Amino acid sequence: MKLTVPPPEQFGSPGFTPGPLGDEDRQRLELHAVEIRRAIITMVTRANSGHVGGSLSATDLMVTLYHHVMKHDPRQPNWSERDRFILSKGHCTPVLYATLASCGYFPVDDLDAFRRPGSHLQGHPHQLKTPGVDANTGTLGLGLSTACGMALGAKLRGETQRYFVLVGDGEQNEGQIWEAAMFGAKYSLGNLIAFTDRNRLQTDGNTEDVMPLDPLPEKWEAFRWHVQEIDGHDLQAMLDAISTALAVSDCPHMIVLNTVKGKGVSFMENEAMWHGTPPTAEQETRALEELNHAV
């Protein structure tokens, strides 16, 4: 598996500087996104297990956060001043693990052991086993609550790090999401930025057939969150939305990302079957050939 791992000194910086994305940075992020999508396909195929569709839809966000926005240092996974990321839709570990490996938190070769016995790369993230993982998640709905608690603790201690959390859209069928929404608003958690991966597909089909969520932005606004809705595959749009969120300090933030499940692989895009179905060897070849032409 090939991933371009930047030099360690690139991380641990003061963090995100708002502004237009230059051509060099755009090309760098786009290359990371393609490589991570390749890794996702290969990891899940080799394991014959895992969640492809939602990992591919979240790839552009993960690259943007870890390679351009977040303050973190792979040489010091427990650095107290780092920004934190919580994967509330904890089944989509392929994109998290590939992203962490692309930053240098652990060797890229470890991805070959995804979901294998004895591997530290389990089906759901484990904070005590995997460098770079900030919270154990997997039971849907719990990740946002965890992030709210962590953000409140930081606020009470007067700390400045930021908390980023990725929530699935189907995950928002869980009542605990809305309990966390009330909690975040009550405590004015301006240090918390949440994202909804709004690909409109969950394991049982279209979200609007399973349990309608629309109008989703208005729901979050009603819970007194600062809300934006953008294209979740547009790098500049994500950076602009994060910049806007960072300028609002008196409430938590929800950025609804309109995404495509299976993004980047034509036969996987907008197909609910790819929520948790691993590709065959033949499908892996087809997917990688498509991705090879993306750069």
pTM: 0.96
pLDDT (0 to 100) of residue 110 = 97
- Percent of the chain at pLDDT > 70 equals 98
How far apart are the C-alpha atoms of 18 and 149, rounded to whole Å?
A: 27
pLDDT (0 to 100) of residue 8 = 78
Say if 98 falls within a structural domain.
yes
How far apart are the C-alpha atoms of 204 and 200, rounded to whole Å?
A: 11
For residue 76, what is the domain's CATH number?
A: 3.40.50.970
Say if 150 falls within a structural domain.
yes
Domains of the chain: total: 1
pLDDT per residue over 125-144, tens digit each? 999 999 999 999 999 999 99
Say if 51 falls within a structural domain.
yes
Q: Directed axis angle between helix 235-246 and helix 53-64, to 10°?
A: 60
pLDDT per residue over 135-168, tens digit each? 999 999 999 999 999 999 999 999 999 999 999 9
Say if 259 falls within a structural domain.
yes
Say if 10 falls within a structural domain.
no
Average pLDDT on 31-51 reads 97
Domain range for 94 is 25-292
Say if 90 falls within a structural domain.
yes
pLDDT (0 to 100) of residue 19 = 77
pLDDT class of 95 with cuts at 50, 70, 90: very high
Average pLDDT on 19-35 reads 93
Say if 20 falls within a structural domain.
no
pLDDT (0 to 100) of residue 185 = 98
Average pLDDT on 188-199 reads 98
Say if 276 falls within a structural domain.
yes
pLDDT (0 to 100) of residue 7 = 86
pLDDT, the chain, mean: 95
Instruction: Indicate whether 15 pLDDT > 80.
Output: no
Instruction: Indicate whether 181 pLDDT > 90.
Output: yes
pLDDT per residue over 252-294, tens digit each? 999 999 999 999 999 999 999 999 999 999 999 999 999 988 7
Cβ distance 246 to 31 under 8 Å? no
